[in-house]
């Protein structure tokens, strides 16, 4: 069962992106805008986790600048002929979450070895 909201710690574990980086990206990318709950804690939805995974791929793996990543996100949001797309996710969120859980499991297993 998927959760509706994830804490910044959970998102960090699922994606492998440190919380301070998530907070920094939040200031640079309007697509990443988690709401804060009554306690003032950030809560992320599935679509925001997908944005984090996309940013991780662009910035950390493909070595895009933040300006370049912003441009790619804007282009992904636009469909053919400049029309907005509903979804531009390369991986379904459920798959990305499952991969994150596998990564955490393998990381914990490696620590035990």
How far is 72 from 32, CA to CA, in rounded Å?
Answer: 14
Q: Rounded to 5 degrees, what are φ and ψ at 6?
A: -130, 145
Q: Is 113 exposed, middle or buried (0-12, 13-18, 19+ CB in 10 A)?
A: exposed
Q: Domain for residue 42, yes or no?
A: yes
Query: Is the pLDDT assigned to residue 87 strictly greater than 50?
Result: no
Q: If pLDDT is split at 50, 70 and 90, which confidence band does 1 have?
A: very low
Q: Domain for residue 32, yes or no?
A: yes
Q: Length of the chain in residues, anyone?
A: 113
pTM of the entire predicted model: 0.70
Q: Domain for residue 20, yes or no?
A: yes
* 10-57 tens-digit pLDDT: 999 999 999 999 999 999 999 999 999 999 999 999 889 999 999 999
Domain tally, the chain: 1
**Contact at 8 Å (CB) between 73 and 52?**
no
Query: Is the pLDDT assigned to residue 89 strictly greater than 80?
Result: no
Distance of CA 28 to the CA centre of its chain: 14
Query: In this structure, what CATH number is given to the domain that contains residue 26?
Result: 1.10.1660.10
Q: Domain for residue 47, yes or no?
A: yes
Q: Domain for residue 1, yes or no?
A: no
Domain that holds residue 65: 6-112
Identify the sign of the CA torsion 93, 15, 32, 85.
negative
């Amino acid at each position: 069962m998927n959760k509706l909201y994830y804490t910044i710690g959970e998102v960090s574990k699922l994606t492998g992106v440190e919380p301070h980086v998530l907070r920094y990206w939040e200031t640079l990318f309007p697509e990443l805008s988690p709401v804060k709950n009554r306690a003032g804690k950030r809560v992320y939805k599935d679509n925001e986790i997908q944005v984090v995974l996309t940013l991780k791929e662009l910035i950390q793996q493909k070595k895009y600048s933040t300006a370049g990543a912003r441009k790619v996100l804007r282009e992904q949001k636009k469909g053919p002929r400049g029309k907005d797309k509903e979804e531009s996710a390369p991986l379904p969120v459920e798959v990305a979450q499952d991969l994150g859980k596998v990564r955490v499991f393998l990381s914990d297993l490696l620590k035990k070895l």
